Structure 1
Amino acid sequence: MRFESRGAGVPFHPRRFSFFYGWIILSLSSLGMLMSIPGQTMGVSVFTDHLMEALSLSRVNLSLAYLLGTVGSALILAQAGKLLDRVGARLMGTVVVLLLGLTLFGVSAVDGIRSFIFRIFPFAGDVFIGFLLISGGFFFMRFLGQGVLTLLSRNMAMKWFDRRRGLANAVIGIVVSFGFSAAPMLLHSLIEDFGWRGAMRVMGMVLLFGFSGVFLLFARDNPFICGLRPDGSPAPADDADDSDPSTRTGPDYTLPEARRTLTFWVYAMSLVLFSLVITAVTFHIISIFDEAGMGAEKAVSIFLPAALISLVFNVGASWASDRMPLKIFLFMLLAGLLIELVAVALLKDGLFFFLMILGHGISGGIMNLLSTVTWPRFFGIRHLGSISGFAMGMTVAGSAAGPYLFSLSLSLFGSYSPICWGSGILGMLILGLAFIAKPPVREREVL
């Protein structure tokens, strides 16, 4: 973080503000999460039919391209996290926002680029060229948006708060919940007004000429490089090392050290299982309800009440996490997942329908807390980028594998029940390991 510490006072120094600068960082981090929408599933899904038509691709081929792009981004997220630790959020975030904006301009012209390449290499076939191009487009959208921008936005906020980390996560959760819920409708309106290409270019311009400048102006990786302390605590003595996060309570783990703990794998695999199950259920929701003898209208009706439950649990758990061990919330996450898996396997109208909504909402609310707060609470902030990047790469890979595994269960067994029971057994195994996993010394000292 040495590079960023030299420019912490340019063009203004955070110490000059009459209030704690972390609140500005929290607002910027929340906005960064919203700016990642073009790379999130709900952002991409609005454009899928238009991309299929423009590139003459089937839904299966476009889904495969999305899968390849997502898995590819997951494989290098850990390396991106290590780079984040070295250069800091300000420089890396500005570059990522610019690259994401350029990517959207590129994807908006993907059919024209395909035609140009096809004239040079006609033997390759226009459909195959289009498939390769959109696979590359999905890779950059997922890696830059859903991956790196999300990663650094979360990490930056968590570094500026310690004892109020749960409160900070609750604020981000509320903004993300409402922002992500409204995104499909807003993007649909943009497409109606400007066409799908124009909508992507509008988003690209917002990133290139708007948010990149805002991020460069206001972002600071952590309070230590600014001579401040998390939560707005009193500034250190003059002879203290302002730039050294290790002056905080507890040791700072490296990624190899974190991976040698059972706690890391218990929490990481819980998040992977969540991502696998929730993404798969969302992706196949119509088919799941068809198998249970219920229609599409009933299927999509689960999302609004589940979102409200998720919001309540996210805010409540985030507030309580500043005062309670995280293992309690891990048990809640796994319980919510197990409830949903049983409900999907035995789905019918009535009790199991409501249990599915309940499990979906509980696990979704707790996941947002654990994916953000766990790594700085347990392992410190010095190597937060590499640790959270590695964990997030696993989570993204799980989200890519989930829909395929669920479709494989339906294809081989004619039902989603086998994959639900198999996932439930894995969840029970993780739950058993959670009982014996001891939290690192850092959490015990913080609490």
Structure 2
Amino acid sequence: MIDHKKLGNWPFNPNKWPFYYGWMIIFAGTFGITMSIPGQTMGVSTFTDSLIDVMGMSRTQLSFAYMCGTVLSASMLTWVGRKYDKYGARRVALISTLGLGIVLIYLSQVDNIQSYLGGNTSTVVMNFAIMAFGFFTLRFSGQGALTLVSRNMMMKWFEKRRGFAMGFSNVATSLTFASAPVFFEILIQRYDWDGAWMILAVITGVVFPFFVLAFFRDSPENSGLKPDGHYIESAKSKANRFPVVKEYSLPEAQRTIAFWVFSMMLAMQALYWTGVTFNIVSLFEHASYDRETAVSIFLPSSVIAIVVTLSVSSLSDFIKLKYLLYIMGTSACIALVGMIYLGQWHVDIWLLGTIDVSLSTMILGNGIMMGLYSVILSVTWPRFYGRTHLGAISGRSITFVVLGSAIGPILFSESLAYFGNYEGAGWVCLALFFGLTIAAIWANNPQEKYRKG
């Protein structure tokens, strides 16, 4: 048996920390999510063109390998969640970050592996297998396991102020995710694509594991603390607005409407956003925009997302979460209308000149959607289903999110292949988002019926 309490006080006792250790957990968990960026779509997309060149693959072939690897990794995330529930955050995070470092070394050598296995007679099947395996291990260790563990660890250390505390993490994550492609591009320009991946392998696989061993902790109880620290003893916090009466198991959670509506909304956001990100330059070229304009939309969208996250994170501690689902679905529909009609709606505004309304609409909708995504992903599962089986429940939800991120690039690529544009994919996403926004009416917190009882 694992003595989690002994592990919780090694190599130092968080109870003796100068302030509530939960805030250190917020920093550590945010750092963990940041370390997963090489395994996120935003991190992978920076290396896409280099991989196409050195592997001799088409964009469609590489996208299909990416989808297959991602789908396979998604199928294992519920298992990871159960291991997290059993072994705790530190052990699972340590294995995940070591694995991420190893797979980055592997990816930096795919051209040499191709030459070794096939010489001058390499086949499409062999190239596909090399990349699919690399994407599977990359997505599993990075986007899947390390992100899941880091986020769940933070959620366990706060209860009544969970939204407020996670807001700091979400803002920091938005900033690091927005700036990561620029950092990766600098590494690629200076050290080439393989050298850039080797540097990232050292950071994630050699340096970061020591940080995990030192600062990651599973739960406040294992360190002699309570969620929220001394805040829970204040008079103002005695009334818990959303008390957890029943601890749900994964099968019980899956029998509630809320689990499916929230999971599918998060999955649709991943599907849409990865589809757009993976094809961003091509999408804007079809609307007669250049590469610089295409890349430039990430910054204003990130700024809007940060403002929304800061505004809504604390608010989420006081309101029903399905209200945020309404806004998220509506903003996604707004963004998709802008994407579908990109470059087609222009107005002349005095002093500002000609403005593309569709582009502004897309940026605004994307920013609101991304800001709410972070909040909903952070606070929903422990509030609705408790902390006992948090790993398994959030793992199953993240499975759908990762599946959505796998389908997105293929959906958008196939839309271009069949229709000559991305509007077909846009209309499909718009219909699904609209349906989920309506379904959110019935996505009530399952704890409510037990509170009434």
1:93 equivalenced with 2:93 (yes/no): yes
1:366 corresponds, among 357, 367, 372, to: 372
Q: 1:364–1:290: structure 2 CA closer, same or farther, 3 Å change rule? A: same
The equivalent of 1:22 in structure 2 is: 22
Q: How many angstroms does 1:26 deviate by?
A: 0.9
Report the 3-state secondary structure (helix = DSSP H, G, I; strand = E; otherwise coil) of the residue aligned with 1:252: coil
Task: Give the 5 Å matches for 1:14-413.
Answer: 14-118=14-118, 125=122, 127-233=124-230, 249-347=244-342, 348=344, 349=346, 350-413=356-419
Deviations 1:47-69 (A, max 9, x none): 22332333232322222221211
8 Å Cα contact 2:22/2:229 also seen in 1 = yes
Report the 3-state secondary structure (helix = DSSP H, G, I; strand = E; otherwise coil) of the residue aligned with 2:228: helix
Distance 1:190 1:428 in 2: 40
Distance 2:302 2:449 in 1: 30
Q: How many angstroms does 1:409 deviate by?
A: 3.1
Report the 3-state secondary structure (helix = DSSP H, G, I; strand = E; otherwise coil) of the residue aligned with 1:230: coil
Q: How many angstroms does 1:444 deviate by?
A: 9.0
8 Å Cα contact 2:38/2:44 also seen in 1 = yes
Q: TM-score, normalised by structure 1?
A: 0.90
Q: TM-score, normalised by structure 2?
A: 0.89
8 Å Cα contact 1:4/1:91 also seen in 2 = no
Q: How many angstroms does 1:2 deviate by?
A: 4.4
Distance 2:6 2:269 in 1: 40
Report the 3-state secondary structure (helix = DSSP H, G, I; strand = E; otherwise coil) of the residue aligned with 1:111: helix
Q: 1:201–1:165: structure 2 CA closer, same or farther, 3 Å change rule? A: same
Report the 3-state secondary structure (helix = DSSP H, G, I; strand = E; otherwise coil) of the residue aligned with 2:203: helix
The equivalent of 2:238 in structure 1 is: none
Distance 1:379 1:156 in 2: 15
1:421 equivalenced with 2:411 (yes/no): no
Distance 1:184 1:423 in 2: 25
8 Å Cα contact 1:74/1:397 also seen in 2 = yes
Q: 1:113–1:413: structure 2 CA closer, same or farther, 3 Å change rule? A: closer
Deviations 1:142-191 (A, max 9, x none): 11001111111111001001112112221111211221122122222223
Distance 1:206 1:293 in 2: 39
**Equivalent position amino acid for 1:256 in 2:** P
Report the 3-state secondary structure (helix = DSSP H, G, I; strand = E; otherwise coil) of the residue aligned with 2:246: coil
Q: 1:251–1:117: structure 2 CA closer, same or farther, 3 Å change rule? A: same
8 Å Cα contact 2:81/2:395 also seen in 1 = yes
Distance 1:420 1:109 in 2: 36
8 Å Cα contact 1:344/1:352 also seen in 2 = yes
Distance 2:244 2:265 in 1: 26
Distance 2:57 2:193 in 1: 16
The equivalent of 1:245 in structure 2 is: none
8 Å Cα contact 2:41/2:278 also seen in 1 = no
Q: How many angstroms does 1:234 deviate by?
A: 7.5
Q: How many angstroms does 1:422 deviate by?
A: 3.2
Distance 2:421 2:112 in 1: 42
Deviations 1:11-40 (A, max 9, x none): 212112231111111111011011111111
Distance 1:444 1:363 in 2: 31
Structure 1: stretches of 5+ with no match in the other structure: 237-247
Structure 2: stretches of 5+ with no match in the other structure: 234-242, 347-355
Distance 1:375 1:443 in 2: 17
Distance 1:414 1:56 in 2: 24
Q: 1:199–1:160: structure 2 CA closer, same or farther, 3 Å change rule? A: same
8 Å Cα contact 2:244/2:385 also seen in 1 = no
Percent same amino acid at aligned positions? 41
Q: 1:70–1:432: structure 2 CA closer, same or farther, 3 Å change rule? A: same
Q: How many angstroms does 1:296 deviate by?
A: 4.0
**Equivalent position amino acid for 1:162 in 2:** E
Q: 1:266–1:214: structure 2 CA closer, same or farther, 3 Å change rule? A: same
Deviations 1:302-354 (A, max 9, x none): 22221111111111111211122111111110010111122222332432222
Q: 1:324–1:134: structure 2 CA closer, same or farther, 3 Å change rule? A: same
**Equivalent position amino acid for 2:440 in 1:** A
Q: How many angstroms does 1:92 deviate by?
A: 0.7
Q: 1:352–1:190: structure 2 CA closer, same or farther, 3 Å change rule? A: closer
Q: 1:251–1:364: structure 2 CA closer, same or farther, 3 Å change rule? A: same
The equivalent of 1:242 in structure 2 is: none
Report the 3-state secondary structure (helix = DSSP H, G, I; strand = E; otherwise coil) of the residue aligned with 2:8: coil
Deviations 1:356-407 (A, max 9, x none): 1111111011011111211111111111111111111101111111222233
The equivalent of 1:437 in structure 2 is: 443
8 Å Cα contact 2:43/2:180 also seen in 1 = yes
Which stretch shows the higher mean deviation, 255-264 or 126-135? 126-135
8 Å Cα contact 1:100/1:145 also seen in 2 = yes
Distance 1:152 1:443 in 2: 30
8 Å Cα contact 1:3/1:87 also seen in 2 = no
8 Å Cα contact 1:111/1:130 also seen in 2 = no
* Cα RMSD, aligned residues only: 2.3
Which stretch shows the higher mean deviation, 145-154 or 430-439? 430-439
8 Å Cα contact 1:253/1:379 also seen in 2 = yes
The equivalent of 1:240 in structure 2 is: none
